[in-house]
Amino acid sequence: ASGSMSVLAALTLHKMQEEGVAFNMDIDIIGTPDEEAMGCKVDMCNAGVFKEYDFAIMVHLDGEETRPNSQFLALDCFRAKYHGKPAHAAGEPWNGVNAVNGVQLAIHAMDMMRQQVRPETRIGTWIIAGGTASNVIPAFGELEVTVRHTEREYLNGLSEQIKNIFEGAALCTGTTVDVEFYGNPYDDMNQNHRGTKLIEEVMADMGLDFEPGPAALGGSSDIGNVSYQCAAFHPKLRLAGEPKVCHSKEFAGAMLEPTIEQTIIDGATIIGGSLLRLVEDPTVLEEIVGEFTESLGE
């Protein structure tokens, strides 16, 4: 639905232009696929796609609240593949090397690490492969780890610690480990207060019930990387009905409810309304760009 809102806003603005409305700026719609896994906006940032823009906006649906912007955590994701030696778990376990022991020890070490990290840190784990039968010493185990923090610089240090944990767990269990970076590194969200205030004004004029400013902490998104190439904004728009956990089955099911049509229109209106205000008052865009430039120390 996020793409639908952007497309609807773009079609509406294009129709206005055809009917004679003059825009004093270029407005583009850019397809940005695979936000959840690989984070292709990062690849686009690496190619410099967004550096020529002054303002970028997308709207994401939310199950609990509406806000003019989001606060994202920087994220790194790793996959560690542990290799051991198979053996019968009852007949000759001493001849085996348990790869899943490496996985388990790495998880325990990260749990111990949590005591010393800053409170904004988030560490998530997923055992992708953990053996196939209880009577076999597993020769292979695989673990995915996502580590997040509000600041990219601090996260870089945490990631180095986690890579050391992977190696240390292998050393302690007699296994070997292959570590790969999975997907792209996501940056935290570079906040732009003037632009957020603009979006708040649009939401207020629409009569939306919203919470001001970004939430204290959130998940992660590749738009964080965009926000270091131009002023970028990620408003959240609440789905109608009962609260829903984001990305749950109930959340997905809401896309088929009759109320989704108005929600998509509201999201397109947030995007289009924000851009039209910049057209009407270019000094606001100058203030947004000025704040963005200052945030980079330029």
The pLDDT value recorded for residue 37 is: 72
Residue 100 has pLDDT above 90, yes or no: yes
Average pLDDT over residues 212-228: 91
Looking at the structure, tell me whether residues 78 and 177 fall in a common domain. yes
User: Which of 163, 181, 199 marks a domain boundary?
Assistant: 181
Looking at the structure, tell me whether residues 129 and 270 fall in a common domain. no
Residue 176 has pLDDT above 90, yes or no: yes
Partners of 106 in beta bridges? none
- Helix, strand, coil shares of the chain, percent, nearest 5, are 45, 20, 40
Q: Within a 10 A sphere around the Cβ of 214, how many other Cβ atoms?
A: 21
What's the pLDDT tens digit per position in 188-216? 999 999 999 999 999 999 999 999 999 87
Average pLDDT over residues 252-273: 93
Residue-wise over 242-281: b if at least 16 C-beta within 10 A, else e? eebeeeeeeeeebeeeeebeebbebbbbbbbbbbbbbbee
Q: For the chain, give the percent of residues with pLDDT over 90.
A: 85
Looking at the structure, tell me whether residues 82 and 63 fall in a common domain. no
Report the chain's mean pLDDT, rounded to a whole number: 94
The pLDDT value recorded for residue 25 is: 87
Burial (CB < 10 A; 0-12, 13-18, 19+), residue 189, is: buried
Looking at the structure, tell me whether residues 209 and 229 fall in a common domain. yes
- The CA dihedral of 96, 99, 103, 105, to the nearest 10 degrees, is 30
| Strand 60-62 versus strand 236-238 pairing type | parallel
Three-point CA angle 80, 82, 87, nearest 5°:
160
Q: What is the 3-state secondary structure (H, E, C) of 39-82?
A: CHHHHHHHCCCCCCCCEEECCEEECCCCECCCCCCEEEEEEEEE
Domain with 39 in it: 2-72+190-295
The pLDDT value recorded for residue 99 is: 98
Looking at the structure, tell me whether residues 194 and 68 fall in a common domain. yes
Rounded Cα distance between 63 and 239, Å, is: 6
What's the pLDDT tens digit per position in 44-66? 999 999 999 999 999 999 999 99
Average pLDDT over residues 114-135: 96
User: What are the angstrom distances between the C-alpha of 284 and each of 112, 150, 274?
Assistant: 48, 28, 11
CATH number of the structural domain spanning residue 273:
3.40.630.10
In the chain, DSSP assigns E strands to 55-57, 60-62, 74-83, 87-88, 122-129, 136-137, 140-149, 176-181, 231-233, 236-238
Question: Which carries the bigger pLDDT value, residue 108 or residue 297?
Answer: 108
CATH number of the structural domain spanning residue 84:
3.30.70.360
pTM of this prediction?
Answer: 0.89
User: Which of 181, 201, 232 marks a domain boundary?
Assistant: 181
Average pLDDT over residues 276-293: 96
Looking at the structure, tell me whether residues 108 and 92 fall in a common domain. yes
Residue 36 has pLDDT above 80, yes or no: no
Q: Within a 10 A sphere around the Cβ of 92, how many other Cβ atoms?
A: 10
The secondary structure of residue 239, as a DSSP letter, is: P
pLDDT-derived band at 1, boundaries 50, 70, 90: low
Window from 20-29, 61-70, 227-236, 284-293 with minimum mean pLDDT: 20-29
Start-to-end CA distance of the chain, whole Å, equals 36
Give how many domains the chain has, as a whole number.
Answer: 2
What sign does the dihedral 249-250-251-255 (CA atoms) show? positive
Looking at the structure, tell me whether residues 51 and 12 fall in a common domain. yes
Looking at the structure, tell me whether residues 12 and 150 fall in a common domain. no
The pLDDT value recorded for residue 38 is: 82
